[in-house]
Amino acid sequence: MQSASWSGYAKLGHDKERLIKEYLSNIASIVGVVLPVAMGVGFTADYFVPLIYTDKWAATIPLIQILTVAGVLRLLLSNSGSVYAAIGAPHYITYL
């Protein structure tokens, strides 16, 4: 998604209001689809891991839940790098 949105952000780099609107629109679309799926995986890992993979895999449940939280946080920052590059402030990408 990042590379697909980069060209659009680059064209809007001079118009910060439109850039912000496009960024928020993209994030809303991503969050609206991916966030419920990710949260569903994290919240139901207790039930589905033993059901699908047997009890041998039960030790992976906490890891799945931690990775779900990390994935959601990464999701929220997913297009930030493209925006910073488009406005000529790529050093913020390093901070992220």
The contacts of residue 65 (CB under 8 Å, 6+ apart) are 42, 45
Question: What is the pTM for the complete model shown?
Answer: 0.66
CA distances from 9 to 2, 29, 34 (A): 10, 16, 21
How far apart, in whole angstroms, are the C-alpha atoms of residue 12 and residue 6?
A: 10
Report the pLDDT value the prediction gives residue 93, as an integer from 0 to 100.
Answer: 80
CA distance to 19, 53, 57, 66, per residue, from 13 (Å): 7, 48, 47, 35
At 2 the pLDDT is: 57
pLDDT tens by residue, the chain, 96 residues:
456 777 788 888 788 889 889 888 988 988 898 889 888 989 999 998 999 988 899 999 999 999 999 988 888 887 888 888 888 888 888 887
